[in-house]
């Protein structure tokens, strides 16, 4: 395999000249550039991209941290982020953290050691102090990690309002509400607070089920639904993230309850799985592609030297009517 010395010898120039051209680190005459390019083609020489990036103190790699890519929301987010990073000239390193307790800390250490140029994190496991120690490019999804780390999120309060009003307009009077764990501060809790506020205001009974912290797998969702149904709770409405909403709907149907006749269901996130089940779910839809675009934009700016202070990008949500509600 040809190396840089072979290219220099074939082009009749010094190794330093070839290096300057490859790294764009100094002047190289146009005629000399042409000789080097011809030599590279003849020798089928492929420059070491990693070495060039390290010369410029860049790796061209962005770490994307998510709890579990099997979760539909994170799967879609990662897919869109990868496309945006590629368009911006970066490669993505996907980091699933839920199976290893220290995985998040290890990936952040890679940022400190210049193995990656930046991090987009959708993980809610590490203490905020660990992030505050880092002075490198980080963008957070749905979590406030410090005043210097920008956040991309949606108007969760509006999402909670849309779900609550939709169930009320469908005549629901007893609602099963699945909530994420409150062990970690996050903007997404606003949807639950607003949902509960509206239910109380309208004197509607709500059964509140708080999920375990950092659990996103379908097995756990099934267990949670089985636990709720085993208690014999009488409800005519459900509000939950996509996977849980589907599990509830399936269990209700197995128990010969009609959807939406007996039970109305509204999902939150609005990922692809809400549209491939029958009946198709009514859902509060997060703009996942928009979240990905904003995360990559902010991170690119940070890598380019821009600083942010208490920056939060909030995108809108919308209610998409399906067949699990009537009106």
pLDDT in tens, 1-38: 678 888 889 889 988 888 787 776 678 888 888 888 88
Using DSSP's 3-state secondary structure scheme, residue 240 falls into strand
H-type alpha helices, 91-188: 103-112, 128-132, 156-169
Strand pairing of 318-320 and 118-121? unpaired
**Residues forming CATH 1.10.260.40 domain(s) in the chain:** 4-55
pLDDT of residue 101: 54
Give the pLDDT confidence of 54-84 residue by residue, as tens digits: 555 677 889 898 988 889 999 999 999 999 9
Instruction: DSSP for 62-75, please give it.
Output: EEEEES-TTSHHHH
CATH superfamily of this structure's domain 61-154+289-316 = Response regulator (3.40.50.2300)
pLDDT number for residue 52: 54
Specify the CATH number of the domain 156-287. 3.40.50.2300
Three-state secondary-structure class, residue 25: coil
Q: How far apart are CA 248 and CA 228, in angstroms?
A: 9
Phi-psi region of 202 (alpha: psi -120 to 50; beta: other; left: phi over 0): alpha
Helix ranges (H only) for 255-327 are 288-303
Phi, psi (rounded to 5 degrees) for 45: -85, 130
pLDDT digits (tens, 9 = 90+) for 76-113: 999 999 999 999 999 998 888 765 556 677 777 776 66
pLDDT band at 41 (very low <50, low <70, confident <90, very high): confident
CATH topology of domain 4-55: 434 Repressor (Amino-terminal Domain) (1.10.260)
* C-alpha span between 160 and 175 (Å, rounded): 14
Longest dimension (CA), the chain: 85
pLDDT, one tens digit per residue, over 232-278 is 888 999 999 999 999 999 999 999 999 999 999 999 999 999 999 99
Cis ω before 260 (30° cut-off from 0): yes
Residue 327: predicted pLDDT:
78
Its pTM stands at 0.81
Q: Read out DSSP for 172-239?
A: --EEEEEE--TTS--TTHHHHHHHHHHHHHTT-EEEEEEPPTT---HHHHHHHHHHHHHTT---SEEE
Outline which parts of the chain fall under CATH 3.40.50.2300. Answer: 61-154+289-316, 156-287
Q: How far is CA 148 from the centre of its chain?
A: 19
CA pair distance 224, 244, nearest whole angstrom: 9
pLDDT of residue 87: 95
Residue 284 confidence (pLDDT) above 60: yes
CA neighbor of 120 nearest in space, from 244, 252, 239, 298: 298
Tokens of 181: 């764990």
């Amino acid at each position: 395999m040809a190396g840089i010395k072979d290219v220099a010898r074939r082009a009749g120039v010094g190794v330093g000249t070839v290096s300057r051209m490859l790294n764009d680190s100094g002047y190289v005459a146009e005629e000399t550039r042409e000789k080097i390019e011809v030599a590279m083609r003849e020798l089928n020489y492929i420059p070491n991209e990693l070495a060039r990036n390290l010369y410029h103190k860049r790796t061209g790699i962005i770490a994307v941290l998510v709890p579990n890519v099997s979760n539909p929301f994170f799967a879609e987010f990662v897919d869109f982020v990868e496309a945006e990073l590629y368009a911006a000239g970066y490669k993505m390193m996907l980091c699933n953290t839920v199976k290893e307790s220290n995985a998040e800390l290890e990936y952040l250490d890679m940022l400190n050691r210049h193995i990656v140029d930046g991090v987009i994190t959708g993980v809610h496991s590490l203490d905020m102090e660990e992030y505050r120690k880092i002075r490198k490019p980080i963008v957070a999804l749905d979590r406030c990690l410090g005043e210097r780390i920008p956040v991309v999120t949606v108007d969760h309060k509006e999402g909670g309002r849309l779900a609550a009003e939709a169930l009320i307009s469908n005549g629901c009077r007893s609602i099963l509400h699945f909530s994420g764990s409150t062990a970690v501060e996050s903007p997404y809790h606003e949807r639950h607070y607003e949902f509960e506020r509206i239910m109380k205001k309208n004197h509607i009974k709500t059964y509140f089920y708080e999920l375990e912290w950092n659990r996103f797998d379908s097995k756990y969702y099934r267990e949670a639904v089985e636990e709720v149904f085993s208690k014999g709770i009488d409800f005519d409405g459900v509000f939950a993230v996509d996977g849980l909403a589907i599990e509830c709907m399936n269990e209700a149907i197995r128990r010969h309850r009609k959807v939406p006749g007996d039970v109305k269901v509204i999902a939150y996130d609005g990922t692809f799985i809400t549209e491939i089940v029958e009946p198709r779910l009514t859902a509060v839809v997060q703009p996942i592609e928009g979240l990905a675009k904003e995360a990559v934009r902010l991170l690119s700016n940070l890598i380019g030297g821009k600083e942010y202070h208490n920056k939060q990008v909030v995108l809108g949500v919308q209610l998409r009517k399906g067949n699990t509600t009537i009106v």
